[in-house]
Amino acid sequence: MSAVISGASLPETPSVATGLDSARSRFALYLLLGFSAGLPYYMFSTILSARLAKHGVDLVLIGFFGWVQLLPTLKFLWAPLLDRFSVPGFGRFFGPRLGWIMLSQLGIFAAMVAMAFTSSDASLPLTALFAVLLAFWTTTLEVSADAWRIELAPTPETQGPLTAANLWGYRSAMVAAGSGALIVADHANWAWAYLVIAAGAFAPLPILATMRPQARAGRARGVALATGLGASAVILGLSLLLAAGVGALVLRAAAAIGISAKTDATTTVLVLCLLPFLIMAALLPRIVGLSAGAWARRSTMVGPYVDIFWRFGYKVLPLLAFVSFYRMGDVLTLALSKPLEIAAHYDLTTMGIADGFVALPSSMAGVALGAVLAVRLRLTRALALGAIGSALGNWIFVWLWFQPPSPHVIYIATALDQFAHGMEGAVFVVFLSMLVNPRYPGAQYAFLSGFAFLLPRLLAGAGGNIARHIGFDGFFWLSGGLSLAAVLFLPLIARVQPREEAA
């Protein structure tokens, strides 16, 4: 793996936007982009689970809502389109990457406002619809921002600072959304909580709008901007109709096969987790033997993903197995930490203070340490430290569960959880970025980061069932242990190197 993580095979990529030539300006940009992506994430994951729990929704159904987080896992389905196409109008006005980011910002704002006006959860399918849309536009923003980051910073030394900036912004926004929404909901209601965070999500948009990498005459700018706004309205409307149609089909299929709050989906989920590995193992012999001119390697939609398996060959299987386990603790903590805290009799304000004043500095310190470790140590060692920290971050909730409710208890648990997962996340982002072929930055990073969350998010959806059978304490013992299990794969991937095309 030394060749992969050294960045030696990645060519220097020029700055793609005027004004981003300095390290300081890029750092500031990724603070802002991280904030833009992190703010809505809590609102369709952790905050939504707290809202549903407060409304008395069954724990198993709350677990099912965790599958909304599967949408970012599936981002590889549309990521190649973001590499290939620009948003009409916005692409000419802002440039291709920033054009998609601006459209995503508008989608995030619209979806969050819709979640505010359906915050009574009187119709759970409607709640799910707008949560899916919020997840979709948040993920689209992340795909564009990640591709841009890889283009701007092709080596571990340049990736480290941008990764830290992105995660500082991301986790700061998650903390702000978590604490702000909970406190507002406790003193007003859930509708106001979502409206306040929607306003915060809109705030970065005017700042990003000042960045116009494409120099054009005044009239051409006006036409491009007007075209972009019109196209955005059409695209947002079509995404709503498509999500509603697909959602209706999924609900009908679930009802037809008898899935309900009483359904034990754990076995089904575990089978689904194995399917990607079985499919990949079956196709690998054919992929490894493909020539450079083969359709599967040249295709716009398939080629970037086939390239991953062609470059790494059979070693891609332990590599992806490691990737699947590494973020297990982080994802499963997000799924049930708030239901656990509510069941442990913590009020929303105390939870909000923990998610704000305690989580923010802890998370930023963890991200900073992770970025330093990724640059200063061999990545395999840094990854091992991250996995150990992640396990401890999960197991601290077992301690919280058995303690009498106290602000000090939840503050300590939150601090360790956020520090550990911040450190783990920073190391992991650098690691994944170094696996990417710079020819396909958006699509390949989308696939690798999405695949990393496939197994954890499938299990998160069954988390309610699992916790019902083994208790909250058993659930967090299990999730921490699964995250630590990633260390077992490190000896297998330590020397993985990509195959180069024959000259």
What single DSSP character describes residue 485? G
Q: Which long-range contacts (CB under 8 A, 24 or more apart) does 187-192 make?
A: 187/349, 189/119, 190/51, 190/54, 190/116, 190/119, 190/120, 191/116, 191/117, 191/119, 192/116
In whole angstroms, how large is the CA radius of gyration of the chain?
22
Residue 228 contacts residue 85 (beta carbons within 8 Å): no
Q: In which residue are the tokens 């833009």 written?
A: 36
Residue 216 CA to residue 390 CA, distance in Å, equals: 48
Whole-number pLDDT of residue 259: 63
Residue 210 contacts residue 221 (beta carbons within 8 Å): no
Residue 345: left (phi > 0), alpha (psi -120 to 50), or beta?
A: left
Residue 98 contacts residue 69 (beta carbons within 8 Å): no
Residue 331 contacts residue 470 (beta carbons within 8 Å): no
What are the residue ranges in the chain where pLDDT is below 70? 1-21, 156, 211-221, 254, 257-270, 272-274, 276-277, 501-503
What distances in angstroms separate CA 319 from CA 70, 120, 352, 453, 459, one per listed residue? 21, 43, 37, 14, 20
Whole-number pLDDT of residue 415: 93
- The pair of structure tokens assigned to 258 is 């008898």
Which one of 3.40.50.10490, 1.20.1250.20, 3.50.50.60, 1.10.150.20 gives the CATH number of domain 2-11+21-493?
1.20.1250.20
By residue count, the chain amounts to 503
One DSSP character per residue, 165-195 reads: HHHHHHHHHHHHHHHHHHHHHHHS-HHHHHH
List the end-to-end C-alpha distance of the chain, in Å, as a whole number. 22
**Which residue type, as a one-letter code, is found at position 111?**
A
Q: In which residue are the tokens 């989906």 written?
A: 265
Residue 328 CA to residue 351 CA, distance in Å, equals: 23
> What is this structure's pTM?
0.67
Residue 485 CA to residue 120 CA, distance in Å, equals: 40
**Which residue type, as a one-letter code, is found at position 368?**
A
Q: In which residue are the tokens 């536009």 written?
A: 137
Residue boundaries of the structural domains of the chain: 2-11+21-493
Q: In which residue are the tokens 């696996």 written?
A: 435
Residue 98 CA to residue 101 CA, distance in Å, equals: 5
Residue 2 CA to residue 124 CA, distance in Å, equals: 49
